[in-house]
Amino acid sequence: MSFETILIKIEGGVATVTLNRPQQLNALNRQMFRELDEAFEEVATDPAARVLVITGAGDRAFAAGADIREFVDMDPVAALDFSRNAQRIFRTLETMPKPTIAAVNGFALGGGCELMMACDIAYAADTARVGQPEITLGIIPGAGGTQRLSRLVGKQKAKELMMTGDMLPAEEALRLGLVCKVVPAADLMTEVQKLCERLLSKGDVALRMVKEAVEAGTQVDLASGTEIEAKAWSLCFTTEDYVEGVKAFLEKRKASFKGR
Ligand code: COA
């Protein structure tokens, strides 16, 4: 695969997608959306990629939003298509059957924040700034931000953030539960790699079931959600990994999972 606006590397079970328009603070233009769409599809289906990491090129930004230059003269119908397309791509990422990690190495604003929120886990550099500043352009988040932000931080805080356009320091994003961990910028990729190693040592099917139960279960009422959990739990009992996991515990050794 060769792309112009992103880089992709698959190594040791980890696929790393780097948003690569550092001069524009990795702003997501139409081409980048197209390339991400293709890359996510590829990572989702490639068995060599067991975990996906998304980060930004350079040391300033994860992504500073959708490319505002492409908003000039956008009519409402084009805006509707743009929003739905971005939402679809981020939903593909959110429902990808393997763990996804945002390594937030700087600004994660607008579409960048929306991309981060569609990942399973976000680790941030202490230099990161996170927010949905669309209001300053006279618009609102359109790639899932109004929905994911309210679900992550609660309605009131989400409305405050989207109505003010405030950009939060990393520590504040951590306090709100928008990211899981904040580390010195220089250590970000090492910490993310450590997380990848921990995930790679787990069984792929069980990881996938965690994700499916959470993603499907949080869309529905508790009784339906716990039923989804029961189905996902019972499916784990079809795997060799479950046999190995239980056996390893009883034999007081570390399990060696095969992902099946
Ligand atoms: N779309 C297009 N270009 C963008 C961009 C975006 N979302 N964000 C940054 N850039 C470009 C700038 O236009 C500038 O390009 P130039 O050098 O050709 O003029 C370059 O990236 C560097 O940004 P600059 O604004 O000069 O850096 P800064 O340090 O002064 O400010 C930000 C950084 C992130 C605060 C500022 O760029 C910003 O507010 N960006 C827009 C954020 C936003 O509203 N995102 C939501 C979009 S829907």
Query: What tens digit of pLDDT does each residue of 59-99 get?
Result: 999 999 999 999 998 999 999 999 999 999 999 999 999 99
Atom of ligand 1 nearest to the CA of 142: 48
- Residue 10 above 70 pLDDT? yes
Instruction: Report CA(26)–ligand 1 centroid distance (Å).
Output: 9
Query: Given 1.10.12.10, 3.90.330.10, 3.40.50.300, 3.20.20.100, which CATH number is that of 204-250?
Result: 1.10.12.10
pLDDT of residue 119: 98
Helix, strand, or coil (residue 189): helix
State the Cα torsion 161-166-167-173 to the nearest 10°. Answer: -40
Which residue type, as a one-letter code, is found at position 225? Answer: G
Q: Note whether 128 and 236 are within 8 A (CB).
A: no
Confidence of residue 2 (pLDDT cuts 50, 70, 90): confident
Residue nearest to atom 21 of ligand 1 (CA): 24
Any idea which residues carry the catalytic annotation? Answer: 114, 134
* Half-sphere exposure (Cβ direction) of 204: Cα atoms closer than 13 Å: 15
Mean of pLDDT values over 51-66: 98
How many alpha carbons fall within 13 Å on the CB side of residue 89? 24
DSSP at 2: -
Nearest CA to ligand 1 atom 28: 25
Q: Which tokens sit at 212?
A: 């499916």
Intervals of CATH 3.90.226.10 along the chain: 6-200
Distance 156 CA to ligand 1 centre (A): 27
List b or e across 175-187, with b for residues whose CB sees 16 or more CB atoms inside 10 angstroms. Answer: ebebbeebbebee
Mean of per-residue pLDDT scores for the chain: 97
Q: How far is the CA of 25 from the centre of ligand 1 (A)?
A: 6
Residues near ligand 1 with C-beta < 6 Å?
24-25, 27, 64-69, 107, 109-110, 133-134, 137
- Mean pLDDT score, 37-63: 97
Predicted local confidence at residue 1, as pLDDT: 64
Q: CATH 1.10.12.10 occupies which residues in the chain? A: 204-250
Closest-CA residue to 244 (of 252, 234, 256): 256
Mean pLDDT, range 177-206, rounded to an integer: 98
Q: Which atom of ligand 1 is nearest to the CA of 69?
A: 2
CATH number 1.10.3260.10 is the correct assignment for the domain at 6-200: no
Q: Identify which of 23, 24, 25, 162 to mutate to test ligand 1's pocket (most ligand atoms within 8 A of the CB).
A: 25
Nearest atom, ligand 1, residue 60 CA? 29
Q: List the one residue out of 186, 177, 14 whose CA is nearest residue 105.
A: 186
- The tokens describing 69, both together, are 């230059």
Measure 168 CA to ligand 1 centroid, in angstroms.
16
Q: How many residues does the chain have?
A: 260
Residue 12's SS3 state is coil
**Is the backbone of residue 144 left (phi > 0), alpha (psi -120 to 50) or beta?**
left
- Closest atom of ligand 1 to 107 CA is 34
User: For the residues 161-170, what does the mean pLDDT come to?
Assistant: 98
Nearest to 27 by CA among 61, 50, 71, 76: 61
**pLDDT at residue 237 greater than cutoff 80:** yes
User: What pLDDT was estimated at residue 32?
Assistant: 98
Q: Report yes or no: 39 and 51 within 8 Å, Cβ to Cβ.
A: no
pLDDT tens for each residue of 139-158: 999 999 999 999 999 999 99
The C-alpha atoms of residue 139 and residue 111 are separated, in whole angstroms, by 13
Instruction: Tell the residue nearest (CA) to atom 11 of ligand 1.
Output: 24
Closest residue by Cα to residue 138 from 156, 162, 119 = 162
Ligand 1 geometric centre to CA of 180 (Å):
26
Q: Whose CA is nearest to atom 41 of ligand 1?
A: 64
Q: Please compute the mean of the pLDDT values over residues 228-243 and round it to a whole number.
A: 96
State yes or no: pLDDT of 54 exceeds 70.
yes
* Residue 200 falls in which region: left (phi positive, over 0), alpha (psi -120 to 50) or beta: alpha
